[in-house]
């Protein structure tokens, strides 16, 4: 919708399975369809194989599907038997693994914060603080990012949504004003 913020509280972070999550940027209808499709395909894969889908396999599947004409920028992340992984997936089906990623209109602001704060082997709490710092930068500098914050941690124990209360407390400790 251009520079119009149609809804400032759109969900942009989704669990795909117990060990996988995905962030979305782009056309909301395409994103919601992609999330439902991936949740279904991953569930079927897990039932057939009897084990969780790897992060690389999930990223490959998303990259193959997105080529069908979805207008999205996505991040697929998770934890599998080889450890934690994060992939950026573009609208043409390209996917790249890196230590951190950001997509969407606020990504240039978030990436600057991520580059400044990221270090290898972050703890859960340090990683959450880095994510909040990056989201805060995007939220303050990009009018299309919106006012909400959704944060999740995916580790050996699976996908964990971080509560609004914890995000609010961490924003305060970091010196950021919690969004609406």
- Residue 10: predicted pLDDT: 74
Q: Is the per-residue pLDDT at 83 higher than 70? A: yes
Q: Which of 86, 22, 77, 18 minimizes the C-alpha distance to 52?
A: 18
Cα 180 from chain centroid? 20
Q: Which residues contact 72 (CB under 8 A, 6 or more apart)?
A: 24, 25, 26, 27, 30, 31, 34, 66, 89, 91
Q: Dihedral, CA atoms, 76, 6, 151, 126, nearest 10 degrees?
A: 100
Domains parsed from the chain with CATH numbers: 13-174 (3.60.20.10)
Tell me the per-residue pLDDT of 132-179, one tens digit each, with 9 for 90 and over: 999 999 988 887 777 789 999 999 999 999 999 999 999 999 999 887
Q: How many CB atoms lie within 10 A of CB 26?
A: 19
Q: Which of 160, 84, 168, 180 minimizes the C-alpha distance to 132?
A: 168
């Amino acid at each position: 919708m251009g520079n119009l913020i149609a809804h400032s509280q759109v969900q942009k972070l989704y669990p795909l399975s117990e060990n996988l999550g995905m962030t979305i940027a782009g056309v909301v209808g395409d994103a919601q369809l992609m999330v439902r499709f991936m949740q279904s395909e991953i569930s079927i894969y897990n039932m057939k194989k009897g084990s969780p889908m790897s992060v690389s396999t999930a990223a490959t599947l998303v990259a193959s599907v997105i080529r069908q004409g979805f207008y999205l920028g996505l991040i697929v992340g998770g934890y599998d038997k080889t450890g934690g992984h994060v992939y950026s997936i573009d609208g043409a089906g390209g996917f790249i693994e890196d230590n951190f990623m950001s997509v969407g209109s606020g990504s240039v602001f978030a990436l600057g914060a991520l580059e400044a704060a990221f270090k290898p082997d972050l703890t859960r709490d340090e990683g959450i603080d880095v994510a909040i710092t990056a989201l805060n930068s995007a939220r303050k500098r990009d009018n299309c990012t919106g006012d909400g914050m959704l944060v999740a941690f995916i580790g050996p124990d699976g996908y964990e949504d971080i509560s609004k209360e914890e995000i609010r407390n961490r924003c305060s400790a970091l010196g950021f004003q919690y969004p609406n």
